[in-house]
């Protein structure tokens, strides 16, 4: 897993450096990059329109001790700042999460399936096809344990994506 993350990071940096010279080029609708937090892994975002998008992330859950995959429908209702080099929108939206929890911390291996509510903001650069984001999500999930079937979690992450 760590090797795959290094390869994705290296490819993202190489492509970004190579295309920085084409700064005035239009930003694409699909972005891929890295997220650090809960989970730590690969992040992707696909714009459906000017103010709506789908985002995805998959990777290791540090706090959750396992593998996490999530997807969110994002709406960008407000712009906090608009400069020549970047736009700073806020995004919110619902989503889903699946966490395969490994043994540890006094719990058995189990699966968690839940809904997310996410809020975040991003630096959407206008001169290069990159964005940098920070987000927090509350999660209400069903846990496949014998006695404690429902629970609440908190996810937080930051990352960068390159757009094609």
136 pLDDT more than 80: yes
Residue 46 belongs to a domain with what CATH number?
Answer: 2.40.160.20
The alpha carbon of residue 82 and the mean position of all alpha carbons in its chain are separated, in whole angstroms, by: 23
CA 146 remoteness from chain centre: 31
Q: How far is CA 155 from CA 40, 115, 137, 140, in A?
A: 11, 12, 5, 11
DSSP-derived 3-state class of residue 158: strand
Among 130, 117, 119, CA closest to 162: 130
Q: What is the pLDDT of residues 20-32, one digit of tens each?
A: 434 445 788 999 9
Is pLDDT above 50 for 142?
Answer: yes
pLDDT (tens digit per residue) in 50-73: 999 999 999 988 776 789 999 999
Could you give the number of structural domains in the chain?
Answer: 1
Tokens standing for 2?
Answer: 């760590």
Decide if pLDDT at 2 tops 60: no
What b/e string do you get for 9-44 counting C-beta neighbours within 10 Å, with b at 16 or more?
eeebeeebeebeeeeeeebeeebbbbbbbbbbbbbb
Domain holding 157, by residue range, is 2-163
111 vs 13, residue with greater confidence: 111
């Amino acid at each position: 897993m760590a090797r795959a993350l290094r390869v994705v990071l290296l490819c993202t940096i190489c492509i970004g450096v190579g295309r920085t010279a084409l700064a005035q080029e239009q930003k694409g609708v699909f972005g891929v990059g890295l997220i650090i937090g809960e989970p730590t892994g690969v992040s992707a975002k696909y714009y459906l329109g000017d103010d709506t998008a789908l985002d995805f992330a998959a990777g290791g859950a540090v706090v959750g001790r396992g593998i996490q995959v999530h997807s969110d429908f994002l709406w960008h209702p407000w712009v906090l700042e608009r400069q020549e080099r970047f736009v700073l929108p806020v995004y919110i939206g619902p989503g889903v999460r699946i966490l395969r929890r490994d043994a540890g911390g006094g719990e058995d291996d189990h699966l968690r399936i839940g809904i997310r509510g996410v809020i975040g903001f991003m630096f959407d650069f206008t001169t290069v096809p990159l964005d940098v984001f920070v987000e927090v999500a509350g999660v209400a999930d069903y846990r496949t344990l014998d006695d404690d079937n429902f629970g609440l979690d908190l996810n937080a992450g930051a990352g960068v994506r390159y757009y094609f």
